[in-house]
Structure 1
Amino acid sequence: MIRVIVVAASSVVRAGLSAVVSSNTHLTVVATASDLDVVSKEIEQLQPDVILLDLGSNPEPMWSKLQLIQEQQIIAIAEDIDGIDLETAFRLGVQGILSSTSTEAEIIAGVEAVASGLVVLHPDVLELLPMRQKVVANPVQTLTHREMEVLGMLGYGLGNKAIAKRLQISEHTVKFHVSSIFQKLGVSSRTEAVTAGVRLGLIML
């Protein structure tokens, strides 16, 4: 059972998202709140698998509050995707971004994916990602062919077990490749690795 905390300033949106989550037998709502401030102290006790966060029309105030709940799987829903600071969102641990127009099925699938440690991005978000990173003084180290394969599969949201099965290697070896990718790209999470890969033109989503 995937444990979800629903956070939304609007009581109507909060109730709606809670109803969507509760409609799936694999998901359960363990708490709802109008603001991250309200629920931040309860997170350790509740131990949710995912925080479903409605950013509303102005996501900016949320960024400082997200710093209070690090090490959590977060999927955000935004009215204005164009207004999201993607770099900040990813850095603060947001692993999923959906539009407020997303269907119930998309929200449920997104919650399940993020709970599994995958990255979920609405198609409109992909259009906002720069396809190549700006020129930097210290370019990243070259990835091996195998690391490129693993990075590409990370981009498709595959977990270590699925990658191992596809490449016919052990999960331990996959973890080794992922660690090497992180080091070479100068990142610390799968989300950042995929983002860097897209920016550098190493992978296409």
Structure 2
Amino acid sequence: MIRVLIVARSLIMQAGLEAMLIHEPTIQVVGRTADLTTLEQFFRSQQIDVVVLEFALLTDTNLEMLTSQEEVAIALLVSPTEAYSAIALLRSGVRAILPLDITTDEMILTVEAIAAGLVVLHPDVSDILLQELPESNEPVQSEALDAPLTPREVEVLQLMATGLGNKAIARQLNISEHTVKFHISSIFSKLNASSRTEAVTLGMRQGLIFI
């Protein structure tokens, strides 16, 4: 059972988020609050696995407190008008960044995924992350990799995660199919993967790509 705490400003939003999750047999909503000062009390009294948190309530202080809870996965809900750095949030320990208008199915899948240790980035948010990546061919560092992936390789791996084939990836990135095959070969080598599925799984575990 995945135990979820909902943190949102309004009672209406709290109720709406709970309604998305309450009928899923693998998920239990154990609390709702708008007061982040009560979070430590929740952590002491409840075994929390996932915190679904409205980004507007987030401060550096409570983010540090939340990410210090090693067994707790954090999902942030952001509005299109809010300014934030996806890379900074993910590096701090946030496991998911989602739009406020997320669907019920997307919410359930997100809670299950981050509780299992994966990182989730909604497609509406992934564009922001790609904009933050360096435009040069400098590698994106990852301590667990023998050799880091380049930003272009990260893009290819992200598109692989959506199920696109080589031709579709080539069209999406406006490059040749031969170049896509070259990037995939390099990705397999760097991640020590033997299949597309394994490469995507390893990429998610390293926080390089998001679903």
Output the TM-score relative to the length of structure 2.
0.64
| Pairing 1:123-202 to 2, within 5 Å after superposition | 123-130=123-130, 132-133=133-134, 142=147, 145=189, 147=191, 149=193, 152-155=200-203, 157=204, 190-191=206-207, 194=208
**Following the alignment from structure 1 to structure 2, what is the Cα–Cα distance between the partners of residues 124 and 81?**
13
Partner of 2:18: 18
Summarize the Cα distance change of 1:151–1:37 in structure 2 as closer, same or farther, 3 Å threshold: farther
Which residue type is aligned with residue 26 of structure 2?
A: H
Summarize the Cα distance change of 1:81–1:94 in structure 2 as closer, same or farther, 3 Å threshold: farther
Deviations along 1:95-134, whole A, 9 cap, x unmatched?
Answer: 1111111111111111111111111111121111237436
Equivalent pair of 1:82/1:128 in contact (CA under 8 Å): no
Q: CA deviation at 1:137?
A: 9.9
Report sequence identity in percent.
29
Select which of 15, 37, 62 maps to 2:59.
62
Partner of 1:119: 119
Partner of 1:178: none
Summarize the Cα distance change of 1:139–1:78 in structure 2 as closer, same or farther, 3 Å threshold: closer
Partner of 2:106: 106
Q: CA deviation at 1:82?
A: 5.8
- Secondary structure of the residue aligned to 1:145 is helix
**Following the alignment from structure 2 to structure 1, what is the Cα–Cα distance between the partners of residues 112 and 139?**
37
Output the TM-score relative to the length of structure 1.
0.66
Larger radius of gyration: 2
Summarize the Cα distance change of 1:41–1:145 in structure 2 as closer, same or farther, 3 Å threshold: same
Q: CA deviation at 1:62?
A: 2.9
Q: CA deviation at 1:26?
A: 1.0
Q: Which runs of 4+ in 1 moved over 6 A?
A: 134-139
Q: CA deviation at 1:44?
A: 3.8
Query: Which 5+ residue runs of structure 2 have no aligned equivalent?
Result: 149-187
**Following the alignment from structure 2 to structure 1, what is the Cα–Cα distance between the partners of residues 105 and 139?**
43
Q: CA deviation at 1:75?
A: 0.8
Summarize the Cα distance change of 1:152–1:139 in structure 2 as closer, same or farther, 3 Å threshold: closer
Summarize the Cα distance change of 1:114–1:135 in structure 2 as closer, same or farther, 3 Å threshold: same
Summarize the Cα distance change of 1:137–1:123 in structure 2 as closer, same or farther, 3 Å threshold: closer
**Following the alignment from structure 1 to structure 2, what is the Cα–Cα distance between the partners of residues 152 and 142?**
16
**Following the alignment from structure 1 to structure 2, what is the Cα–Cα distance between the partners of residues 29 and 23?**
10
Which residue type is aligned with residue 48 of structure 1?
A: I
Moved more, 78-87 or 31-40: 78-87
Equivalent pair of 1:63/1:92 in contact (CA under 8 Å): no
